[in-house]
Amino acid sequence: MLWKVLLTIGLSAGVLSSSAFADNRPHSSGTAFFVNGDGWAVTNAHVLEECSRVAAPGIGEALNWIIDRQNDLAAVKFEAGSNSRTFLALRDTPPRLGDDIAALGYPLHGILSDSIKITTGIINSLVGIDNDTRYLQISTALQPGNSGGPVVDRSGAVIGVATAVLGTKFAENTGILPQNVNFAIRSMVLELFLQSRSIAYQKSAGSEALSTADLAETTTPGVLQLLCYGDEETQSVAQSQVATRQEGTVSTVSPSDLAAAFARVYHDAWSMPNEDALEFMSSVYARNVNFYGKPITLDSLMDEKQKFAQRWPIRDYSLREGSLLTDCQGALCIVSATVDWFAYSPSRKKRSSGVAIFSFSLDTKNLRILTETGQVLKGQSAKPDGMLVRWHERNGKCRGGSGDSTDTWRSCDEREYTDTALTAMGWCYGRPGQFAYQMQWHRCGK
């Protein structure tokens, strides 16, 4: 597989002293960018390998981080601060072949200056090596330390995350010396990652093209350098990992685990307001799908999804605990589970609920659904367990978050949406005379 000749570019250990651990200097570095005002920044998973702690100059140490090795993405949490941080929005429209772009980052830590760098280029291809649609091929020059940095269009909207270059192993294996052949993870893949972790982000439809100077001035406040620190005990392990990565092998999450996580994210997304739900659905199906035994195009499928969403604008779909099954042959997985579903139409004053078994085949390499089918189980009543869990999760984030946080307000909106569904299904919150801390959901009248 040609991805094995890629050299990921986030680890700059090769230009740092081998005693970096012992004298408390960073053993590697990378780039990240804020995606909301709450302190969440995005980078590559490989930037954080073998880090016992992570820091950003001028910002401080990271509080925690979340890693998705399958897609080489990570989210890093810093203190939000008294004021909302500058952050970058994700592009709302698909990238186009030939789009003018720029990459921002902190390459070659310890050799070049500590200031941020910007390089410009274009989108050379809308797919990566082996026709991997998670990636864009870009001409923008990237160096060690650029990993995790934003790739933006000329308006400043993020279209991808810088991740890899064709390295020397490619030249050794093919006899071809590549020039400016680099790759970025699509922002669509980043969106799925952020949604699955309930991390808020914003999208931008873009505006007029900026000059490179104006683009740099607009975007650089949201970009930060990441420094990775380890300890003496992990030094030999880290050096081994660097050597392994330079040969191009990357540890990944199994297709089965990825398929299971995708199934949960899918049903969470379909339980969101129509705009968000339909936007997600349009991004996860193949161009042609076998939909309940009938070949159908993506456009036709989305027409059906939109009609159903308009007919039932309040929905909740929850996987029953222990029912999720996956069966994978390579990257192709069959996923099935039992689902409790509720639907409500305020305008028609209609409600419906039940239990169903769903099944779809998923291409885990490109995160695309190829076939979908399902069956309603007659005579079974839906359980609200999953909906109640979702409400409590969102309520906790709504009540416990910062009042000027976009993540807080998003959680509050999603809580109210689930609140409406629970109420429509005959559930009540609290009883007369109770204090707020005493209130619980219960069947109305019981």
Residue 240 — very low, low, confident or very high, per pLDDT cuts 50/70/90? very low
DSSP, residue by residue, 101-130: EEEEE--STTTS-SS-EEEEEEEEESS-GG
The DSSP secondary structure of 56-113, one letter per residue, reads: ETTTEE-SEEEEETTTTEEEEE----SSPPP-PPEESS---TT-EEEEEE--STTTS-
Across the range 388-408, mean pLDDT stands at: 71
Query: Does position 22 have pLDDT exceeding 50, yes or no?
Result: no
The radius of gyration computed from the CA coordinates of the chain, to the nearest angstrom, equals: 23
In the chain, the amino acid numbered 367 is L
Domain with CATH 3.10.450.50 in the chain: 255-382
Q: What is the pLDDT of residues 418-434, one digit of tens each?
A: 887 778 778 788 887 77
pLDDT tens figures, 96-119: 999 999 999 988 765 666 789 999
With a cut of 90, say whether residue 308 has pLDDT above it. yes
Give the number of other CB atoms < 10 A from CB of residue 264.
Answer: 14
Domain with CATH 2.40.10.120 in the chain: 2-246
Give the Cα separation of 132 and 126 in Å (integer).
9
Predicted confidence (pLDDT) at residue 256 exceeds the cutoff of 60: yes
What's the pLDDT at 109?
Answer: 62
16 in Cβ contact with 26 (< 8 Å): yes
Q: What is the DSSP letter of 144?
A: T
Contact 163, 9 (CB under 8 A): yes
In a 3-state reduction of DSSP, which class is residue 332?
strand
pLDDT over 50 at 416, yes or no: yes
User: Under 8 Å CB-to-CB from 165, ≥6 apart: which residues?
Assistant: 6, 7, 9, 142, 178, 181, 182, 183
Q: Which of 381, 382, 380, 391 is nearest to 422 (CA)?
A: 391
Give me the pLDDT at residue 215, please: 92
154-213, pLDDT tens digit by residue? 999 999 999 866 544 444 454 444 556 788 999 999 999 999 888 999 998 777 889 999
pLDDT at 32 over 80: yes
Quick one: average pLDDT of 296-301? 92
Fold of 255-382: Nuclear Transport Factor 2; Chain: A, (3.10.450)
Cβ pair 183, 7 in contact under 8 A: no
Mean pLDDT of 251-258: 73
- pLDDT over 70 at 232, yes or no: no
pLDDT at 241 over 50: no
Residue matched to tokens 């969102």: 394
Per mean pLDDT, which range of 13-17, 111-115, 211-215, 247-251 is the poorest?
13-17
Residue 219: helix, strand or coil by DSSP?
helix
**What local confidence, expressed as pLDDT, does residue 131 receive?**
80
Distance of CA 126 to the CA centre of its chain: 19
CATH number of 2-246: 2.40.10.120
Q: Report the pLDDT value the prediction gives residue 101, as an integer from 0 to 100.
A: 93
Question: Mean pLDDT over residues 236-264, rounded?
Answer: 58
Work out the average pLDDT over 304-321.
92
pLDDT 10s digits, 40-92 = 999 998 888 778 888 998 888 888 888 888 888 999 999 876 455 789 999 99
Could you tell me the pTM of the whole model?
0.49
Sign of CA dihedral 236, 240, 246, 251: negative
Distance (Å, rounded) from C-alpha 245 to C-alpha 238?
Answer: 10
pLDDT band at residue 437 under the 50/70/90 scheme = low
